[in-house]
Amino acid sequence: MTRTLVIGGGPAGLAAAWAAAQSGQAVTLLDDNPALGGQIWRGDIPARYRRFLDPRITVQTGVQIHSASQLPPADRIILATGTRELFLPFPGWTLPHVLGAGGLQALVKGGLPIAGKRVVVAGSGPLLLAVAAYLRRRGAKILLVAEQAPYPRIAAFTRGLWRHPAKLLEAAQLGFGLRYRPDSWPLRADPGSVTLQGHGVLRCDYLACGFGLVVNTELPELLGCRVENGRVLTDADQRTTVPHIFFAGAGSVDRSLLEGQIAGFGPERGRALHAARAAAVAFDRCIDIAFALRSELLSLTTPETIVCRCEDVPFGAIWPHRDWRSAKLQTRCGMGPCQGRICGPALAHLCGWPAASVRPPIFPTRLENLLDLRD
C-alpha cells in the first residue's frame, strides 16, 4: 500500500488527505495547529467540507516540521503549507493596536473581546471584506474598509463577477452595510489612531492591516523543490521538481481544494479536476490584477521605520546594503524568532531583493529537538 504523508491541515491538506484515502493509500496528516482547518477555518470546518475528515486518515496535530530529518518514511509527500499575510511597513505599524487582518480575526476566534471596539480594516484584497464582516458579526464597529487598489480596477473586477454568480452573491453579503473605500491606505499609525490616504485621522481601537498573501515556501525549498517568484513550481498533477513530492494550496480556497484533491488522487482520477482548477487559477489571476499593489506603498517607509520587528532594525540601516544576505549579516535583519517571514517579503517589495536561502531549523525550536534528530 502506498504511504502518503500530507503536511498541512488547511483546505488543501484536508482535501489531499481525503483524496489519497479514497484512492486506497495509507495517509498520515500532520499539522502544527491544535485543530485542523488551517488559518482560514481554525478548527471550525464548514459542514460541507467535513467529509474530508475521513477516519482512515491518521491525524497528528501540534506537530511542527523544522527540518527534513523529521519527516517519517513515505512514498508520496504532499505539502500543503498554506500562506501568510504580507505586511508592508509604515510609520507606527509596530504599535500594539496594529495587527494583521487575519491575525486579528484569529485572536477574536481565540477569545479576544471585540464587541464595541472601533476597527479600521486596511490593505488589499478580498480578505479585507471577509475579516470586516466577521468582526462586525462579533460586535465590532467597523469604521472603514480601506482598499489601496484604485477605483477603476475594483469596478472592473466587480463588473466581471457576473460570470461567477456565487462569488458575486458572497461579495455582496460580505460588503453589505460596510464603508468600503478604494484608493485608500495607511500613511501612519499613532497610539489610538490611523492616518489614511484620502480620509485623514480616524480614532480606532484596532487597525487590522494586510496587503495580500505570501506562499509558505520554506519547507518545499528545504526539501529541494524549485521555487520561482515566490511560487512552488508544479506540473499538471501538482508534482514538484522532486518526483515524489507534491504541492497544493497557493491561492483561494476553491483553488486549494481542487489542487489538494488532484495531488491526493494522482494522475488518473485527478485529471477530471484539471478544468475546474484552470478556472479557479484564472479567477485568482483576476484577483491579482485587480488588487496589485500600487507604487505609492513603497514610499511609506521612512529611515526611522522599523522593518525587522524581531530585531528592531530600522529601514535606514537596511537600504544601503546591496542584498538580503549583506543586510542580514550586518544588521541581524531576519534573524529573530520569525526567521524573516515578516521582513523578508516586505523587503522583497521595498528593495526588490529575492528571498534568502533556507536552512534548518525553519522554525524556532528547542535544543532538545535538535539533539533528538542527531540521535
**What are the pLDDT digits (tens) for 205-218?**
999 999 999 999 99
Strand order across the beta sheet in which 58-60 lies = 58-60, 26-30, 3-7, 76-79, 245-247
Q: Which residues of 117-138 are buried (b: 16+ CB within 10 A; e: fewer)?
A: bbbbbbbbbbbbbbbbbbbbee
Domain limit, last residue, from 173, 188, 211: 211
Q: What pLDDT shows up at residue 373? A: 58
Average pLDDT over residues 124-153: 96
For residues 349 and 332, membership in a common domain is answered with: yes
In this structure, is residue 92 part of a structural domain?
Answer: no
| Three-class secondary structure of residue 22 per DSSP | helix
Cis-peptide, bond into residue 361, ω within 30° of zero: yes
Q: Are 216 and 83 in contact (CB under 8 A)?
A: yes
Q: How many domains does the chain have?
A: 3
Q: Are 329 and 34 in contact (CB under 8 A)?
A: no
Q: What pLDDT shows up at residue 374? A: 54
Q: Tell me the C-alpha distance between 71 and 191, whole Å.
A: 45
Looking at the predicted structure, is the pLDDT value of residue 261 above 60?
A: yes
Q: Are 298 and 351 in contact (CB under 8 A)?
A: no
Q: Tell me the C-alpha distance between 241 and 74, whole Å.
A: 17
Domain limit, last residue, from 287, 322, 345: 287
For residue 165, what is the enclosing H or E element?
Answer: helix 165-175
For residues 202 and 149, membership in a common domain is answered with: yes
For residues 110 and 187, membership in a common domain is answered with: yes
Looking at the predicted structure, is the pLDDT value of residue 95 above 90?
A: yes
Please give the radius of gyration of the chain, using alpha carbons only, rounded to the nearest integer. Answer: 21
Average pLDDT over residues 135-162: 95
Residue among 371, 343, 373 nearest 356 (CA): 343
Domain with residue 194: its CATH number is 3.50.50.60
Domain enclosing residue 170, as ranges: 98-211
For residues 66 and 119, membership in a common domain is answered with: no
**pLDDT, tens digit, for every residue of 51-67?**
999 999 999 999 888 88
For residues 154 and 207, membership in a common domain is answered with: yes
Residue predicted with more confidence, 110 or 265: 265
Q: Are 256 and 280 in contact (CB under 8 A)?
A: no
Neighbour count for residue 109 (Cβ, 10 Å):
14
Looking at the predicted structure, is the pLDDT value of residue 375 above 60?
A: no
Partnered with residue 346 across adjacent β-strands are none
**Alpha helices by DSSP H, 271-314:** 274-290
Q: Is the pTM of this model over 0.85?
A: yes
What mean pLDDT is reported for the chain? 92
What is the torsion angle, in degrees rounded to the nearest 10, for the CA atoms of residue 155, residue 157, residue 163 and residue 166? -90
26 burial class (0-12, 13-18, 19+ CB within 10 angstroms)? middle
Domain limit, last residue, from 211, 237, 269: 211
Q: What pLDDT shows up at residue 272? A: 96
In this structure, is residue 90 part of a structural domain?
Answer: no
